Amino acid sequence: MKVALTGKKGIPAQILIAFILSIVAGFMYPGFAKAIKPLGDIFITLIKMVIIPVIFCTITTGIAGMGDLQKLKRVGTKMLVVYVGMTFVACVIGLIVGYLVRPGMGVTMYAAQPFTQAIKTPSIGDFLLMMIPSSFVGALANGDIVQVLVLGFFVGIAIVGLGNRASAVKELLEQGVAISFYIVDIVMLYAPIGVFALMANAIAVYGASLFGVMLKFILADYLAALIIAFLVFILPLIVYAKINIVKAFKDVGAVFLLATSTCSSAASLPLSMETSVKKFKLPKWLVEFCLPLGGTVNSTGAAMYKAILIIFAADFYGLTLSVEQMIVTVLISTMLSVAAPGIPGGGIVMSAIMMNLMGLPYEVVGMLAGIYRLVDMAHTPLNVIGDIAGAILIGKSEGVWSNEEYVKESEA
């Protein structure tokens, strides 16, 4: 089997090589690895530059591509059930693993650093208001992903409702999708350099943490991630979708590496969408509808982390959680994870809010902030790959995807 190393087709292999070399550079040349961090920041900034038009244009054309409101209602309901269900189950698994491993036991107070950022815990009413853009242009200009999703959702529904009268707008947005992804293709040529810089810096800064007092927490987090990957993603895909899992692992490889190195679901969205259409052979309209929304609704990694965090904090402060408190932990973690921003480090603030809502001292978040990037390298791939897995399950239930076509078209 020949593996392309140059041009657009060679980007996955280039990212893999960059990923491996970055680990070596991070451990052997930490000074150099820290110095090249701006190269990684440039990559993240380039992705941010195009992410808002990608999300707005794809969500509107995805809804418009369904053609009728009944189909939108049916697929939208399935999407919510699948993605919120995944997040809920991930939270339960995180709670169980945290309770069995007890990562907070034996961690002493001197390791903690005060978390000084002001915490604003919004009410349910405030949260709903924050989702609704106050103006059309403002949502796009401010780059608020949730508001852009809501705006795109309404525009897509309007296009479906107006039918042929909005055909010109639909065509314009489809052209917007093409332009946005062409820009993404250009940016992805820089991806190997960005991935190398980001990962090398992460290893140089956080590598020593693997052998520190937080080792138990990191191991619990990674163990829960592996269990979720198997029970929530792999098992349903094999049993229900009958997918060729070996081929699926190969096809999702580049997305996994990009998500791991950037720790950003939003930054990984363009590549995950392209992979879903071109490699997994999912319908374009389904991908454009599910994946942008999945980036917000489906946060399996974030939910798992918050559940483990509560167990960690309780053990750290010598507290015992009741069954009722554990149930509340699952519910709050699921809701907060659905609202979590898909940006690097966004989970730190959401974790502090979680601690506040549970009535626990949130200063312990400062202790974990130092290693958050390290554990987030497990959370983000879970979130991103979970979006793709969910879209495949929905596609299977809608009769628009089958493993036979997936394998046949890929071999053709």
Q: Residue 375, Cβ neighbours under 10 Å: how many? A: 25
Q: What are phi and psi of 208, to 5 degrees?
A: -65, -25
pLDDT in tens, 296-305: 778 888 889 8
Q: What is the token pair recorded at 62? A: 């995805």
- The angle at the Cα of 75, spanning 71 to 80, to the nearest 5 degrees, equals 145
- Give pLDDT, residue 82: 92
Rounded CA separation 49/331 (Å)? 34
- Give pLDDT, residue 277: 92
Q: What is the token pair recorded at 257? A: 């590496």
pLDDT in tens, 123-158: 556 656 777 888 878 778 887 777 887 888 888 888
Distance (Å) of CA 290 to CA 26, 60, 149, 169: 36, 11, 11, 21
Residue written as token pair 């960059």: 18
- For the ranges 9-13, 56-60, 334-338, the maximum mean pLDDT occurs at 56-60
Third-level CATH fold of 8-411: Proton glutamate symport protein (1.10.3860)
pLDDT in tens, 52-84: 888 788 878 877 877 677 777 888 889 889 998
Residue 370's Cβ-count burial label (10 Å; 0-12, 13-18, 19+) is middle
Residue written as token pair 């820290």: 34
pLDDT > 70 in the chain, percent: 79
Instruction: Judge whether 339 and 298 are in contact, CB under 8 Å.
Output: no
| DSSP label of 119 | P
Residue 184: pLDDT above 60? yes
For range 394-412, the mean pLDDT:
82
Instruction: Judge whether 232 and 394 are in contact, CB under 8 Å.
Output: no
- Give pLDDT, residue 314: 82
105 Ramachandran zone, left/alpha/beta (phi>0; psi -120 to 50): beta
Q: Residue 96, Cβ neighbours under 10 Å: how many? A: 16
Residue 305: CB partners within 8 Å, gap ≥ 6? Answer: 94, 221, 347, 351, 375, 379
For range 243-266, the mean pLDDT:
89
pLDDT band (50, 70, 90) for residue 110: very low
Can you say whether the dihedral through the CA atoms of 269, 19, 345, 236 is positive or negative? Answer: positive
pLDDT in tens, 19-37: 889 888 988 998 998 899 8
Nearest partner of 291 among 141, 151, 82, 143, judged by Cα: 82
Q: What is the token pair recorded at 162? A: 């107006």
pLDDT band (50, 70, 90) for residue 107: low
Nearest partner of 285 among 56, 73, 58, 80, judged by Cα: 58
Nearest partner of 368 among 158, 218, 258, 219, judged by Cα: 218
- Give pLDDT, residue 195: 81
- For the ranges 223-237, 311-325, 363-377, the maximum mean pLDDT occurs at 223-237
Q: Residue 137, Cβ neighbours under 10 Å: how many? A: 9
For range 222-245, the mean pLDDT:
94
Residue 224: CB partners within 8 Å, gap ≥ 6? Answer: 90, 93, 94, 97, 98, 304, 308
Q: What is the dihedral of CA 119, 122, 128, 133, to 10 degrees?
A: -50
Q: What is the token pair recorded at 204? A: 């140089």
Residue 1: pLDDT above 80? no
Nearest partner of 54 among 173, 171, 160, 159, judged by Cα: 173
Residue 119: pLDDT above 60? no
